[in-house]
Structure 1
Amino acid sequence: MAVPSAHEFHWQSLARLSSGRVYHSLAEVGGQLYMLGGCDAAGRPTSYLELYAPEIDQWVSLPPMPTARAGAAVAVLNKQLLVVGGVGKNQHPLKAVEVYNTEEGKWRKRCSLREELMGVSITVKDGRAFAFGGMGADLLPRSILQQYDLRKDVWALLPPMLTPRYDTSICLQGSKIYVAGGRQCKRSVKAFEVFDMDSRTWSSLPSLPCKRSYSGVLWDNTGRLCWLGGLRQGGIHQSSKFTKNVNIFDPNQGSWTRSEDTVPMKTKRADFAAAIVRGRMVVAGGLGHQPSVLDTVEAFHPEKRKWENLAPMVTPRCSASTIVIRDRLLVVGGVNQIPSSAHEILYVKEEEIL
């Protein structure tokens, strides 16, 4: 199927959040969008659980989380929301694990993590959740890999990652979980590893081409890792710089594509929304060398092999939470000097919207 042209993409503003929010988590259950926690304008973690109701274009308040938190890892297990770790009051990592049953409308406290952790990354395979790394209360990164069984309510230890880190990007492909980048004590790392669930072994892959933080990280429809833009860390005598570089790793080739074979974005940016919508890589908003946050949006056309400008975001912002549901990109909250309550959708006009 042909990818949509640039002029077919449109933004629409949907119901705003009840208040500005950042570092909240989004999850989809049965095509419905849930939003959990996040920080308010005063930087305090919240216990919000809200459901977006498209038929009335409103956010509906649901029973709040037992533990207020921001930056939690969230997984969907059997129509239940598993909420893991994050940052609680006093900016302290959490070990609390809670489950919300979307059919019963009730929360339950579950088996806690072995220690307080923030920046955990999570994925689901065969009804079990796999939680990677995190940062402990001592501010040091962890290499721990934990597997959660909802039915038994137990966490089991699996062989740890080769490189301790938090805020890593993970992707499940078949029986392999790819773990790329992340951070150690606020410094980005280049490590790239894969865990084979059949053999329960780790292998190292070619490292990321350069250290960049706040990049856009996408896994495309062919299973390639696309590492977009970000902030390159400066040295002792160098300032950090925003970049428009694009790096692509092909797991079939086992290597990164040569830089001359990739196409950089039009705008240098970091901390932006990134997603694949109808076969096109899309980047929106974020921070750049301009004094204010960005509203610009661009999408890569794979046949033309170029980035094209799309209509700008209605509300410019960075640090937004994003999710793709039914080929539509939803961008929720974020920051524009203060936490934003904006909720906008990017869709292709041929289709009906939410």
Structure 2
Amino acid sequence: QSGRDEQSGLTALLNNVSRPGIKDLPNEQTGILVVGGDCPTRGLRGMQQRMELYNLSTDEWHPTGSCDHRHGFGMCIVRGQLVIAGGRSSTTVHDGVEVYGEVDPAGASTWERVATLPVPVTGCTLETADGQLFVIAGRDGNLRLTNSVQALDMQTGEWWSFPPLITPRAFSASCMLNGCMLVAGGFDADKEPIATAEQYQMGKERWEPLPSMGTARAYATAADWNGLMVVCGGEGEDRVALRTVEAYDPLKRVWTPWPEMSMARSGCVVVVSDGDIVVM
């Protein structure tokens, strides 16, 4: 989906994968990187190590190293570095914060552990501002829902206190928008999707409620597109995957329905590349 209200497809991924991490790489590393996730038909047993890189100029996917088996981790770019945190394997909720390096000659990716989460979480989402990393909500090592926000100074490696969310949630959607951190949807303690949203304006030291989305959804994905928070897909009531898309306008404080995607997607991910919204 782009600003032209048109939909078109990219070449399919090499592997069928759900709930991976995905990011549009910095300019000097042009491409879209997909990390981990799980095989939709195998549950926790099907978690992926694979990483794939999409070349924007050739419209081709290439394998590029590997990561630990996991899903439910958060992923973002902090000052040009790709960072992942948390997540779950078949037996463990992870507590690591890792930075992605280069692929070595043998084809293996280099990941450097740079910090340990005070509270291991899965189903978290990651955002960044001014070199700080924010690990937002999720489920802890005992799979209990949390509203905590764990804040890390990536330069010093120190964790610092940050106000918790108003509403505990896991597998929510988030993005940075006009200097504010926005979080929407996710699962509640009963594993039901929610529509509530909230924002944190840097320096105010508190979260503020926002209007709820039109549709309750978890496993959705969000991006900042031209000053709007665009939320795509996810899982709605009765575990039904969604085709719907809606956008939040912070100036008007309203959610507006957008054209539906061509197919329903839960556990999808989104990047904005060359001005277009790319959902996978």
Shared fold, TM over 0.5: yes
Correspondence for 1:45 among 39, 47, 52: 47
Amino acid in structure 2 at the alignment position of 1:200? E
Give the aligned residue type for 2:188. Answer: Q
Higher relative contact order (CA 8 A, sep 6+): 1
Q: CA deviation at 1:72?
A: 1.6
Specify the alignment match of 1:35 in structure 2.
Answer: 34
Contact 1:101/1:107 (<8 A) preserved: yes
Give SS of 1:199's match: coil
- Displacement of 1:123 after TM fit? 1.2
Asked whether the 8 Å contact 1:144–1:157 carries over to 2, the reply is: no
Letter in 2 for 1:128: Q
Give the one of 12, 18, 24 matched to 1:22: 18
What percent identity do the matched residue pairs reach?
21
How far did 1:151 drift?
1.8
Q: Which amino acid aligns with 1:324?
A: V
Amino acid in the other structure paired with 2:177: Q
Structure 2 gaps, min length 5: none
Amino acid of the residue matched to residue 24 of structure 2? E
Distance across 1 between alignment mates of 2:240 and 2:38: 27
Instruction: Mark the CA change 1:188 to 1:48 in structure 2 (over 3 Å): closer, same or farther.
Output: same
Partner of 1:79: 80
Flag the 1:130–1:231 CA change in 2: closer, same or farther, 3 A: closer
Question: Quick one: which amino acid aligns to residue 96 of structure 2?
Answer: A
1:34 positional shift: 1.4
Go from structure 1 to structure 2 and tell me whether the alpha carbon gap of 1:82 and 1:214 turns closer, same or farther (over 3 Å shift).
closer
Per-residue deviation at 1:50? 3.3
Change (3 A) 1:37 1:11: closer
User: Superposition pairs for residues 218-297 of structure 1, below 5 Å?
Assistant: 219-223=224-228, 225=229, 233=237, 249-254=248-253, 256=254, 283-286=261-264
Instruction: Encode CA deviations 1:122-160: one digit per residue, 9 max, x unaligned.
Output: 111122221211111332211111222222123222111
In the TM superposition, what is the alpha-carbon distance from 1:284 to its structure 2 partner? 2.9
Residue in 2 that maps onto 1:166: 170
Q: How far apart in 2 are the matches of 1:38 and 1:205?
A: 30
Query: Is the radius of gyration larger for structure 1 or structure 2?
Result: 1
The within-5 A match list for 1:125-164 is: 125-164=129-168
Question: How many angstroms apart in 1 are the aligned matches of 2:140 and 2:131?
Answer: 27
State the shift of 1:4 in Å.
3.5
Alignment coverage as a number of residue pairs: 267
- For residues 196 and 97 of structure 1, what CA distance do their matches in structure 2 show? 24
- Kindly indicate whether the alpha-carbon contact (under 8 Å) linking 1:52 and 1:60 is maintained by their aligned counterparts in 2: no
1:143-199: CA deviations, max 9, x gaps? 111222222123222111121111222222233212222212311233322212112
- Measured against aligned partners, the alpha-carbon deviations of 1:305-332 in whole angstroms (never above 9, x if no partner) come to xxxxxxxxxxxxx644443322345454
